[in-house]
Amino acid sequence: MFRQPVGDNEATANLRYLRNSVEQLFDFMKRTPLFSAHQELGAKLIEFGGWEMPVYYSSIVDEHQAVRLRAGLFDISHMGEVVLHGQGALEFLNAVLTNDLRKLAVGQGQYTLMCNPVGGVVDDLYAYRIGIEDYLLVINASRIEVDFAWLLARKRLFGGAVTFEMENASDRYAALALQGPQSAAIIDRCYPQASVDGTQVSRPSELRKNQLGCFGAGRKQVLIGRTGYTGEDGFELILESEDAESAWKRLVEVGAQDGLKPAGLGARDTLRTEVCYPLYGHELNEETTPIEAGLGFFVALDKGDFVGRDVLIRQKAEGTRRKLVAFKMTERSAPPRPHYPMWSPGPDGAVIGEVTSGTQSPSLSLGIGLGYVNAAQSAVDTPVQIEIRGKRANGVIVTKPIYRKAN
């Protein structure tokens, strides 16, 4: 079911574009298949990337702690899926993505980025090899249209063997993220079975990090990968939209005895900020490169040519003008927020950068954040001041991740 692209082409892409334009015209927000489930749970809803999504059910801190200590369940159905099938898919993807897909066995995934010719980030994503010649890309909600148009354009330019199909399957699939130390126990109780495809395991908890398996039978199949965006152990599930609500309700019910809570985008953001995972539109955009963002580990400069490689090679060798750093406050202050100026301290202090993500860390009970600063002032332990409503509060640049699990 996850293998075969369903006849997507430019005509259906255009149709989708038209429909989205109409939705925007009338200011409709898109809703996931779990929208009514969120309403039943009393979720507080916000707009995120054109989607009406839960920001929290009980409170951000409550849900954050549930994920750090027990388990949380997130609706991530707004994220997009692109499916590729065919002989040329690997060669094509390796020419448009920064990481090396040749490293992936069937049933494995990797974090990767898609760059423009000047090294700017079109999107950051997860690429899974789901069959011998089958790949699944999980992309950001706000970037679905841009990414797919970009991929179609690159496909047209692609010199290699263009013997593959590519589908924007975002509307067909829903996705859930089960995160937290109790996740393995919960996933096994909900899916007590061996995988039928992907990585061969006798139950989902046997999957290792970045491995993915297909579970269930017939129309009720679900892809389960051991991945996440919280810094905790956890699983992400991709399934047909019509199966999403029953899967969600079952996980909530079965997980309740382990302290599982439904969790919203608010907790998702505080969790990922604590472990310094970038968020597209904050740390990443088309004017920012993976090298500046400190994501060089996911850029395989030695794999052969790919879009943006020349710039990234040069930046890696010569360094960049600015760098993404993590910081925490060293005095009591209001939480840092995106776009707050970052200063060097002292009477001759100057603006050295800008906050891209900031919040009050529920795990550490202090202000934390990420931001771009001049490379010369980016070393760990460098004091930094954050300008909050005209006043500067003291902080310090720290090692990533800001929060590390004690054990």
Partner 1 sequence: MANVPQDLKYAKSHEWVRVLGDLATVGITDHAQHELTDVVFVELPEQGREIKQGEACAVVESVKTASDIYSPVSGEITEINAEVGSNPALVNSEPYAGGWLFKVKLLNAAELEPLLSPEQYKAQISGT
Q: Is 392 in the site for partner 1 (CB under 8 A)?
A: no
Give whichever of 110 and 360 is closer to partner 1, judged by the CB atom: 360
CB of 260 to partner 1, least distance (A): 20
Contact segment (CB under 8 A) with partner 1 among 114-122, 280-288, 315-323, 332-340 equals 332-340
CB of 364 to partner 1, least distance (A): 12
Q: Kindly report the three-state secondary structure assignment for every residue of 200-229.
A: CCCCHHHCCCCEEEEECCHHHCEEEECCCC
Give whichever of 208 and 389 is closer to partner 1, judged by the CB atom: 389
Between CA 344 and CA 338 the distance in angstroms is 18
Give whichever of 303 and 337 is closer to partner 1, judged by the CB atom: 337
Give whichever of 211 and 359 is closer to partner 1, judged by the CB atom: 359
- Strands 80-86 and 212-215 turn out to be unpaired
Member of 13, 53, 55, 141 binding partner 1 (CB under 8 A): 55
| DSSP type of residue 79 | S
Member of 1, 41, 61, 252 binding partner 1 (CB under 8 A): 61
Four-point Cα dihedral 405, 41, 31, 46, nearest 10: -70
Give whichever of 80 and 266 is closer to partner 1, judged by the CB atom: 266
In DSSP notation, 138-152 reads EE-GGGHHHHHHHHH
Q: Is 334 in the site for partner 1 (CB under 8 A)?
A: yes
* Residue 345 CB neighbour total at 10 angstroms: 14
Task: Look at residues 403, 389, 383 and name the one whose alpha carbon lies nearest to residue 333.
Answer: 389
Residue tagged 């199909």 (tokens): 165
Give whichever of 162 and 334 is closer to partner 1, judged by the CB atom: 334
Q: Is 389 in the site for partner 1 (CB under 8 A)?
A: yes
Member of 168, 195, 315, 359 binding partner 1 (CB under 8 A): 359
CB of 198 to partner 1, least distance (A): 37
CB of 59 to partner 1, least distance (A): 4
Member of 20, 59, 374, 394 binding partner 1 (CB under 8 A): 59
Residue tagged 């760990």 (tokens): 380
Say which residues have a Cβ less than 8 Å from residue 107's Cβ, sequence separation at least 6: 129, 130, 195, 197, 198, 199, 200, 211, 212, 213
CB of 24 to partner 1, least distance (A): 24
Say which residues have a Cβ less than 8 Å from residue 277's Cβ, sequence separation at least 6: 229, 231
For 268-303, letters b (16+ CB in 10 Å) and e give: bbbbbbbbbbbbbebbbeeebbbbbbbbbebbbeeb
- Which residues between 262 and 301 bind partner 1 (CB under 8 A)? 266, 270
Binding site for partner 1 (CB under 8 A): 44, 55-56, 59-61, 266, 270, 332-335, 337, 359-360, 362, 389
